Amino acid sequence: MVRFENVGMRYGDGPEVLRDINFALDAGSFHFLTGPSGAGKSSLLRLLYLAHRPSRGLITLFDRDTATMARHELPALRRQIGVVFQDFRLLDHLNAFDNVALPLRIAGLAEAEIAAQVGELLEWVGLADALEVSPATLSGGEKQRLAIARAVVARPELLLADEPTGNLDPELSLRLFHLFEELNKIGTTVLIATHSSELVEKFKHPALFLAEGRLVMRPENTLRAS
């Protein structure tokens, strides 16, 4: 489903920020991506959601070699991926409801179905009273919950999250991780970047550990490497 083979990545002419990355994620799996700040977690996610190309190596997504895909094929592939960004990336000219509805409208769903799905999800993340509110007026935690709702509303095949609970209290963090697990149970492959060892220990999913741009397999890690 996802495979990295000898992948390296650099920005411009700078040194490689990721080096010799090899791993595979099976469809329907759930993994954490951990490591200290500056280890390369966000850079690895950028490769996965096709925001950056590798400097070398092979990346396969959904059985497609991303290096050989034509530019016009990439938007359809990206629609199979839900992303929770660390800086939210919400659209301030759209209200909360329309931010979450956007992926469903792009997919062509009927407005009645969109209203039902978006309303249910916003209620679940505690934003049922904020449907008409601009994201610019929300707190950091509320923006985070809205960004998570937008990322998962279309039930993507692959869900990527970059520190998704960084602005949330412990109780809501646990609720949202349970939401990620429910999505995983219906087939979504989940990869969550986090520095929270507490969450990694609590949920007991295998973890990729990055250190200085390299993937380190810890003894307790059960991830199948390639």
Q: Is residue 66 part of a domain?
A: yes
When the pLDDT of each residue in the chain is averaged and rounded to a whole number, the result is 91
Please indicate whether residue 199 or residue 185 has the higher confidence score (pLDDT).
185
41 occurs within a structural domain: yes
Based on the structure, what is the number of domains in the chain? 1
Residue 58 in any domain: the answer is yes
Residue 179 maps to a domain:
no
Question: For position 22, what pLDDT does the model report?
Answer: 96
Question: Is the predicted pLDDT of residue 217 greater than 70, yes or no?
Answer: no
226 has a pLDDT exceeding 50: no
Please return the burial class of 140, using the count of CB atoms within 10 Å of its CB with bins 0-12, 13-18 and 19+.
exposed
CATH code where residue 29 lies: 3.40.50.300
Is residue 145 included in any domain, yes or no? no
Q: How far apart are CA 40 and CA 215, in angstroms?
A: 10
Instruction: Tell me whether residue 112 is in a domain.
Output: no
pLDDT band at 116 (very low <50, low <70, confident <90, very high): very high
Over residues 38-51, the mean pLDDT reads 95
pLDDT digits (tens, 9 = 90+) for 122-138: 998 889 999 999 999 99
CB within 8 Å of 221: residues ≥ 6 apart: 206, 207, 208, 209
pLDDT tens-digit series, residues 156-169:
999 999 999 877 88
The secondary structure of residue 223, as a DSSP letter, is: P
Residues 7, 18 contacting (CB under 8 angstroms): yes
Structural domain boundaries enclosing 62: 1-80+158-163+189-226
Q: Would 207 be classed as within a structural domain?
A: yes
Q: Is residue 93 part of a domain?
A: no
- The pLDDT tens digits of the residues spanning 71-109 come to 899 988 999 999 999 899 999 999 999 999 999 999 999
Distances (CA, A) of 194 to 45, 50, 125: 12, 20, 20
Question: Has residue 225 got a pLDDT over 80?
Answer: no
